[in-house]
Amino acid sequence: MGDARVRVGLIGLGNNMLSHVGRLVQMADVEVVGACDPVADMRARVHDRYPVLAGMPTFATHEELLAQVAPEAVVISTPHAFHCQQVVDALGAGAHALVEKPMVNSVREANEVIRAREASGKVVMVSYQRHTQAPYLKIKELIDTGRIGTVEMIVALQNQSWYAGQMRRARSGDVPWRMQAHLSGGGQLNDSGSHLVDILLHVTGLEPAQVYAAQQSFDATVDVNSAVAVRFTSGAQASLSIVGNAPGISSAVWEDVTIYGSEGAIYYRMMGQPGFEPWVELRRIGQNEPEDMGPLPEGTTPDQHFVDVIRGRAVNLAPAECGLRVMQLTEAAWKSAETGAAVAVSSLG
């Protein structure tokens, strides 16, 4: 059984899923056995794009996929509002689940997923690709081994030309689902911002305790720009700026992050370097030159890591608890922006 291919079903066949499919069909230990999407053209497109899947059955709903194909695992890439039920249903059908970010849209839903996972004994992984990429593996290693001492402060900026692209479609009459709160849960903070929030929580191991936020929406009905102040349970603090109305190169995300510790700091930049490759530097207090960080670890993809975890070859680097932490901070930020007051994470869910 350990050497058998993992039978994977696909839930949602939009553009983001095609990236997963491109990786899955090249993996020797995976067999893609079925897919579903409510749009017939999307079901036809996956067959056209990947001839190797020409005979793969497709369905309109995930319920049909789970009942008729009984996959061992599923990959979920659908509008955010559907994630919770699809993950819970997959677990109930005996399937492991790799779900796109954000895992869910509320703390309540995150706890529901965790309860379902515990009851099923299956793997739930959030497809936060940075958890398996070399620069972020290195940042986490540096923090875990005490190279900057105790984390005290995070200052982080993310900007993207998100609003312009979304509104261009909305004004033409094609309102993107990301601009519809009942489908997306929220705007840029829950979209590209989710990656930044997640990786900061992941590499530091910090848990949010209290959040204060102010947001701007402009002509949208969801958040575009967010200014977020966070106090963590450890006493550490963060200042996060998520800017969705910014210049940019296509949909590329630019970031500037510093993680300050009691003994040093890690500087991370992805601000238009060639190839948009992240740049990381370690500096220690009292030293004039940056420190040698050592070689970068070997990275992988969420899809391969998912299969490795299922087969017992790796420890899950992006479990459902990561989705919970992100939603604790995100939901508290939304509530704070709405009320004008700081929000305790313990009041959520």
Sign of dihedral through CA atoms 177, 323, 117, 297? positive
pTM beyond cutoff 0.85: yes
Task: Provide the residue ranges of all domains of the chain, joining segments of one domain with +.
Answer: 6-129, 132-298+322-347
CB 177 within 8 A of CB 82: no
Q: Residue-wise pLDDT tens for the chain (349 aa)?
A: 455 899 999 999 999 999 999 999 999 999 999 999 999 999 999 999 999 999 999 999 999 999 999 999 999 999 999 999 999 999 999 999 999 999 999 999 999 999 999 999 999 999 999 999 999 999 999 999 999 999 999 999 999 999 999 999 999 999 999 999 999 999 999 999 999 999 999 999 999 999 999 999 999 999 999 999 999 999 999 999 999 999 988 888 899 999 999 999 999 998 655 566 789 999 999 999 999 999 999 999 999 999 999 999 999 999 999 999 999 999 999 999 999 999 999 999 8
pLDDT of residue 274: 55
CB 162 within 8 A of CB 191: yes
pLDDT of residue 1: 43
Calpha distance 252→162 (Å, rounded): 9
Give the angle 321-325-328 at the CA atoms, nearest 5°. 135
* 237-243, strands of its sheet edge to edge: 279-284, 264-270, 254-261, 151-159, 237-243, 225-232, 208-216, 343-344
Say which CATH superfamily domain 6-129 falls into. Answer: NAD(P)-binding Rossmann-like Domain (3.40.50.720)
CATH topology of domain 132-298+322-347: Dihydrodipicolinate Reductase; domain 2 (3.30.360)
Neighbours of 96 (CB within 10 A): 24
Whole-angstrom CA distances from 182 to 103, 177, 178 are 15, 9, 9
Asked if the domains 6-129 and 132-298+322-347 are classified in one and the same CATH topology, the answer is no
